[in-house]
């Protein structure tokens, strides 16, 4: 998978999650609610809540194969090592895959907040039409 494909997959998962999140938490247009949604996506849409996105070591390894040794992957490694002080164990592809997805959430925070607000508006429109 390429880095762009990783980003697209994470954002699609966040968009899919938005409806359930709003249904459970209610219609809230506050910035705090959008932040809470993004933080929830960091767990639910990345595999961080359970330690694996795929629940399959080979699938995780295959996903990482296309992004390894790219500038985006280097930035990802530097972020975890330099910003967070975490050394990544590359013998654990499921962990690396989850960390990559968390990194993507962090790097696309405003896009995910927009997903939340757009879904709120869409659901509110649907409710008004019903």
Asked which of 32-36, 40-44, 52-56, 89-93 is least confident by mean pLDDT, the reply is 89-93
Reported pTM: 0.88
Helix (H, G, I), strand (E, B) or coil at 47: coil
Alpha carbon distances (Å) from 50 to 37, 38, 43, 46, 95: 18, 17, 8, 9, 10
pLDDT band at 122 (very low <50, low <70, confident <90, very high): very high
What does the domain layout of the chain look like in residue ranges?
Answer: 3-129
Residue 60: the pLDDT is 93
């Amino acid at each position: 998978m390429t880095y762009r494909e990783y980003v697209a997959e994470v954002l699609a998962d966040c968009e899919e999650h938005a409806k359930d999140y709003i249904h459970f938490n209610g219609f809230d247009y506050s910035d705090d609610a959008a932040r809470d949604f993004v933080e929830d996506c960091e767990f639910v849409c990345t595999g961080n809540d359970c330690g694996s996105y795929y629940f399959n070591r080979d699938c995780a390894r295959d996903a990482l194969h296309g992004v390894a040794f790219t500038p985006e992957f280097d930035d990802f490694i530097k972020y975890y090592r330099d910003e967070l002080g975490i050394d990544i164990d590359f013998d654990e592809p499921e962990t690396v895959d989850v960390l990559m997805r968390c990194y993507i959430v962090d790097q696309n925070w405003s896009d995910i907040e927009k997903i939340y607000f757009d879904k709120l508006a869409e659901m509110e429109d649907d409710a008004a039409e019903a």
